[in-house]
């Protein structure tokens, strides 16, 4: 019964949103979890909550013209998807990457709605970005682009309306340039963006939050099975913000990270990426903006060109780069090699085939909307500090983040118990747990 409904529902979604496979993938995963729950809760069916929740409240697309260092005119496309404001102002990151198009941002905005709901904080969901490629651009070119991008975006956002942050290709540098332009246009110093630098309104722990949060959630899943990260070999993909702070926290909890990667290849360091090596990675990636290959040369370890880390044996995997980076085959290799837990630092890094492999093997699998929610949760904490015009200590923010990740774990357990309660389906738990709060708020607020 539920299955037929999912098929009919998806047929409509696909027809209304053609050529957006990533969006279809994200919606299907939620529909499969939520539809059986709806069968028992007809009030949501009558109000067509699921049909409404897949329709963005507003989509903004705009031209971003700018000039490169040689004086040549460049044109990019900018987007902001204001997906759902039932729980609070739209909140979610901006992605600058050449693969960005409407479908990618709609999938990310859709995921964000449920993720933000899971954080327990009052935030709606949104996402934006551009097909601009920051790679190989000078600081000046990045600034010119960010200023042009914000010139248009500024009319659609605000500290009580829509609060963007970083994602792939958008870090502290880009947030700074965009904040500067917003302030100049509006003559207002407000918390309109999160991920700001500490000396002008940022929060301690926000840079660390996604990686730390993902590691806390994996530790909670393992603790639930009377196990822990201590002594575990971990593979991490990516080498950006999320990957870096995952390595830091895994080390602090007694695990060992043996890989990092970028879109060119993977480094394998069986001795483990310790604090000193991580400092090298941070300098390489955040300051020099180099390639992870240079790590292999520096520390005399293996570099596997053009490959992802999933064939390297590990106890725990942290995909922290990009969507669909773990195929069904990759998942099989991970399980075969003894992987017992996966924490999705990235958004939707596992394909549907891969998710089925993990679920059938009954390993601990935390989907992105639960596992990487620590980033946006700490953005929410940054917003609270901005509103109060004060700053909390590192310890205070970290404790709040940790508490939020444990609360997300509890929600997943509550809604994701399968059979006699031994196996937790964290996908189902996160989807239903995230959905209920948004759906109830939508019912309360009438037909909007
Ligand atoms: P960064 O831009 O800091 O780093 C991105 C990393 O992913 C880089 O190492 C990059 O390599 C790699 N990457 C990008 N595209 C590909 C690709 N097609 N194949 C292989 N590797 C790729 O971004 P973040 O660390 O912030 O984001 C990583 C993931 O985490 C994303 O999926 C993002 O949506 C998600 N996320 C981020 C949050 C945050 O707070 N920043 C919060 C929640 C989720 P290269 O340099 O070669 O491009
Ligand atoms: O995917 C995500 O949750 C983010 N990129 C962070 C969003 C935010 O508003 O901090």
Nearest CA to ligand 2 atom 3: 376
Task: Decide whether any atom of ligand 1 lies within 6 Å of the 166 Cβ.
Answer: yes
> Which residue is associated with the tokens 């926000």?
206
Is-contact 285 169, C-beta < 8 A? no
Q: How many Cβ atoms sit within 10 Å of the Cβ of residue 397?
A: 21
Q: What is the pLDDT of residue 418?
A: 81
For the question of residue 127 being annotated catalytic, the response is: yes
Q: Distance between CA atoms of 99 and 121, rounded to whole angstroms?
A: 31
Rounded distance from Cα 167 to ligand 2 centre (Å):
6
Residue 385 phi/psi, 5° resolution?
A: -65, -40
* Nearest Cα residue to 92 out of 35, 158, 165, 42: 165
* Low-confidence spans in the chain with pLDDT less than 50: 1-2
The ligand 2 atom nearest the CA atom of 164: 9
Q: What is the pLDDT of residue 255?
A: 98
Q: Distance between CA atoms of 214 and 249, rounded to whole angstroms?
A: 9
Give helix 426-444 / helix 21-39 axis angle, nearest 10°.
80
Q: What is the pLDDT of residue 420?
A: 75
Task: Decide whether any atom of ligand 2 lies within 6 Å of the 123 Cβ.
Answer: no
Is-contact 285 243, C-beta < 8 A? no
Q: What is the pLDDT of residue 327?
A: 98
CATH numbers and ranges of domains, the chain: 58-190 (3.40.50.10860), 209-371 (3.40.50.720)
Q: Distance between CA atoms of 390 and 273, rounded to whole angstroms?
A: 36
């Amino acid at each position: 019964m539920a299955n037929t409904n999912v098929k009919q529902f998806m047929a409509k979604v696909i027809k209304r949103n053609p050529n957006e496979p990533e969006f279809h993938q994200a919606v299907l995963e939620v529909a499969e979890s939520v539809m059986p729950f709806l069968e028992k809760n007809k009030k949501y069916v009558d109000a067509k909550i699921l049909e409404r929740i897949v329709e963005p409240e507003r989509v903004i697309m705009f031209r971003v013209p700018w000039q490169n260092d040689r004086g040549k005119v460049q044109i990019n496309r900018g987007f902001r998807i204001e997906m759902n404001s039932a729980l609070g102002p739209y909140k979610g990151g901006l992605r600058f990457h050449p693969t960005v198009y409407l479908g990618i941002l709609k999938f990310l905005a859709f995921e964000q709605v449920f993720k933000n709901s899971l954080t327990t904080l009052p935030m709606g969901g949104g996402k934006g970005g551009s097909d601009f490629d920051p790679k190989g651009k000078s600081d000046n070119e990045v600034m010119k682009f960010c200023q042009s991008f914000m010139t248009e975006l500024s009319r659609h956002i605000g500290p009580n309306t829509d609060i963007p942050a970083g994602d792939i290709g958008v870090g502290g540098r880009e947030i700074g340039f965009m904040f500067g332009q917003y302030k100049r246009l509006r003559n207002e110093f407000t918390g309109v963006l999160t991920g700001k630098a500490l000396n002008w309104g940022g929060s301690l722990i926000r840079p660390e939050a996604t990686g730390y949060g993902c590691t806390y959630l994996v530790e909670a899943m393992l603790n639930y099975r009377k196990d822990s990260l201590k002594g575990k070999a971990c593979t991490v993909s990516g080498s950006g913000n999320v990957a870096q702070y995952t390595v830091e926290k895994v080390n602090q909890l007694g695990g060992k990270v043996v890989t990092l990667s970028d879109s060119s290849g993977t480094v394998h360091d069986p001795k483990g990426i310790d604090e000193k090596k991580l400092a090298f990675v941070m300098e390489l990636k955040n300051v020099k903006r180099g390639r992870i290959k240079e790590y292999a040369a520096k520390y005399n370890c293996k570099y596997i060109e053009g490959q992802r880390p999933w064939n390297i044996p590990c106890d725990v995997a942290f995909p922290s780069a990009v969507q669909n980076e773990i195929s069904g085959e990759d998942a099989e290799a991970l399980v075969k090699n003894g992987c017992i837990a996966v924490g999705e630092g990235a958004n939707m890094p596992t394909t549907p085939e891969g998710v089925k492999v993990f679920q059938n093997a009954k390993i601990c699998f935390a989907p992105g909307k639960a596992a990487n929610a620590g980033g946006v949760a700490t953005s929410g904490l940054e917003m609270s500090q901005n509103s109060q015009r004060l700053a909390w200590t590192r310890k205070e923010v970290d404790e709040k983040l940790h508490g939020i990740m444990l609360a997300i774990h509890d929600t997943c357990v509550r809604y994701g118990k399968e059979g006699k309660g031994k196996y937790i389906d964290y996908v189902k738990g996160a989807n239903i747990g995230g959905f209920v709060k948004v759906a109830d708020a939508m019912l309360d607020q009438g037909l909007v």
